[in-house]
Amino acid sequence: MKMQHHIIIVVILWSTALVDSRKIRGISLAYRRFYKEKKSFLCIDGSKLIPFERVNDDYCDCLDGSDEPGTAACTNGRFYCINHGFRPHYIQSSRVNDGICDCCDASDEYNSRMRCLNTCRDLGQRERAEVEDQIRAVNEGLHLKRQLIKEGINIWQEKQSQLRDLQRVAKELRTKLEAHRKRKLNAEGLMGLLKPKGDVAGKKKGRESPADVFQELDFNKDDSVTVDEVQANIVNRGDEERGLTEEEAVALLGGHRQADLSLFRETLWKNLKSDDGVKMKADPRSDEDPSINAEESAAASLKTIEEAYENVRMEIRDLEESLSTDYGTDKEFMYLQSQCFELTVYEYTYVLCPFNQVTQKSSTGTEVSLGKWLSWTGRPGNHYGRMQFDRGEPCWQGPARSTLVTLTCGTETALRSVKEPSKCQYIMELQTPVACQQLQRQLREHSEL
């Protein structure tokens, strides 16, 4: 009798537990507070109060479907898969017991012919491994990023010092330029003086005064003729191709490195007057028309200096432009500035040169511009997440081609994808360690699994 009594109690408890688990099926922990077995059930939208027995009784009472979370009775109901070991999620309650396994813990098919296996642990393990791989890749990316930042700073400093050097060279060239412009004017003046007299032979016997020649030799107009100036303008008669050695120039200045007018008169001038000594490169006493020689040589050297000056100025302009580009807060994108990345998609080869341009080369060899560097256009909080290139080749009956490049984190720097979602507007993905950020969100999700 006592035994029978115990069995009855166990059966009652077991059936209560069964009823309870049925009642709370399909509900998340956060919603459990709405489902109190001892009380009536108030639809979650507050529209109706029903006896608790009518929860999950396979008949839809509430407009919001909240009384049937564990059955397919309400069309708008939702079933909560707990999915221990993986990620919980909701499915439409119409998918409960429909013969398809939706929840990895098999809870949606509790009364179905379908024998669903609990795959949550496997899925969780697989996902954890994937997240761990991602975390490893990001950490490696972050390590590389630190190196690339250093590399960028070095390039930056190198460019700064190149700029300083070029500015110094430009200054020197400017001074030279002025001196040569004067020299050319002098030569032109000389031509003016000599031309009307016409007779070259008549000038042979030294009509120029020592002061004139001194002036001509004194390029930088510092009232002294230096060894350099002698070497630049004096040659040995009969051996015009060979320049004077420094010793020869010093000897011509009477053993001095420079001479004022009176020393010049006593030394080099005497030698210049004699017909078998030295002569000026553009000597008026040479056999050719002297004035033309002097003018031509002055013009030629002026042209050489002007060209050199222009080249240096161009290099300075390029460097200044490069140094004014935004390479990121830590100059982390500087390392990309002289590199290009290629990817072939079907018949086109795309070439992305960050901070410069994007091109598209077809298999037939024609190349079109897909845009020139404009600026960073990342979203707030990730300003350096996207690069914009515009002003590309105009599209037939459309706008100028343009390209938007999204930067993603990876352990290599490479062009990963190119698409043309609308005509002549291109999107690219450039993978770079520099785009790697600390993975707070992923780490959080990882620890939740």
Contacts with ligand MAN by CB under 6 A lie at 360, 368, 395-396, 420, 423-424
56: helix, strand or coil: coil
Which amino acid, one-letter code, is at 133? D
Q: Provide the minimum distance between the beta carbon of 407 and ligand MAN in the complex, in angstroms, as a whole number.
A: 22
Q: Provide the minimum distance between the beta carbon of 228 and ligand MAN in the complex, in angstroms, as a whole number.
A: 59
Q: Provide the minimum distance between the beta carbon of 73 and ligand MAN in the complex, in angstroms, as a whole number.
A: 53
CA-nearest of 417, 407, 416, 427 to 332 is 407
Q: Provide the minimum distance between the beta carbon of 353 and ligand MAN in the complex, in angstroms, as a whole number.
A: 17
Q: Provide the minimum distance between the beta carbon of 393 and ligand MAN in the complex, in angstroms, as a whole number.
A: 7
Q: Tell me whether residue 168 or residue 423 sits nearer to ligand MAN (CB atom).
A: 423
How many Å apart are CA 69 and CA 28, to the nearest integer?
10
Q: Tell me whether residue 333 or residue 426 sits nearer to ligand MAN (CB atom).
A: 426
Q: Tell me whether residue 55 or residue 424 sits nearer to ligand MAN (CB atom).
A: 424
Q: 369 CB contacts (<8 Å, ≥6 apart)?
A: 357, 358, 359, 391, 392, 393, 401
4: helix, strand or coil: helix
Q: Tell me whether residue 65 or residue 371 sits nearer to ligand MAN (CB atom).
A: 371
What tokens does 117 get? 């296996």
How many Å apart are CA 61 and CA 429, to the nearest integer?
51
Q: Tell me whether residue 314 or residue 345 sits nearer to ligand MAN (CB atom).
A: 345
Q: 421 CB contacts (<8 Å, ≥6 apart)?
A: 427
Give the residue at shortest CB distance from ligand MAN: 396
Alpha helices in 195-289 (DSSP H): 200-203, 210-217, 227-233, 246-252, 261-266, 268-273
What tokens does 218 get? 């004194």
Q: Tell me whether residue 150 or residue 361 sits nearer to ligand MAN (CB atom).
A: 361
Q: Provide the minimum distance between the beta carbon of 408 and ligand MAN in the complex, in angstroms, as a whole number.
A: 23
How many Å apart are CA 316 and CA 1, to the nearest integer?
107
Q: Token pair 């979370």 is at which residue?
A: 69
Q: Tell me whether residue 188 or residue 420 sits nearer to ligand MAN (CB atom).
A: 420
What tokens does 64 get? 């919001």
Q: Tell me whether residue 236 or residue 349 sits nearer to ligand MAN (CB atom).
A: 349
Which amino acid, one-letter code, is at 252? L
Q: Tell me whether residue 284 or residue 392 sits nearer to ligand MAN (CB atom).
A: 392
Q: Provide the minimum distance between the beta carbon of 339 and ligand MAN in the complex, in angstroms, as a whole number.
A: 23
How many Å apart are CA 292 and CA 191, to the nearest integer?
7
Q: Tell me whether residue 247 or residue 346 sits nearer to ligand MAN (CB atom).
A: 346
Tell how strand 367-376 and strand 239-243 pair up: unpaired
User: Any bridge partners for residue 216, and if so which?
Assistant: none
Which amino acid, one-letter code, is at 288? E
Q: Provide the minimum distance between the beta carbon of 358 and ligand MAN in the complex, in angstroms, as a whole number.
A: 11
Tell how strand 367-376 and strand 357-362 pair up: antiparallel
Q: 135 CB contacts (<8 Å, ≥6 apart)?
A: 439, 442, 443, 446
How many Å apart are CA 38 and CA 258, to the nearest integer?
116
Using an 8 Å Cβ cutoff, are 398 and 375 in contact?
A: no
Stated as kind and residue range, the H or E segment containing 369 is: strand 367-376
How many Å apart are CA 25 and CA 392, to the nearest integer?
60
Q: Tell me whether residue 396 or residue 448 sits nearer to ligand MAN (CB atom).
A: 396
Q: Provide the minimum distance between the beta carbon of 158 and ligand MAN in the complex, in angstroms, as a whole number.
A: 37
Q: Please, how many CA atoms are within 13 Å of residue 365, restricted to the half-sphere of its CB? A: 0
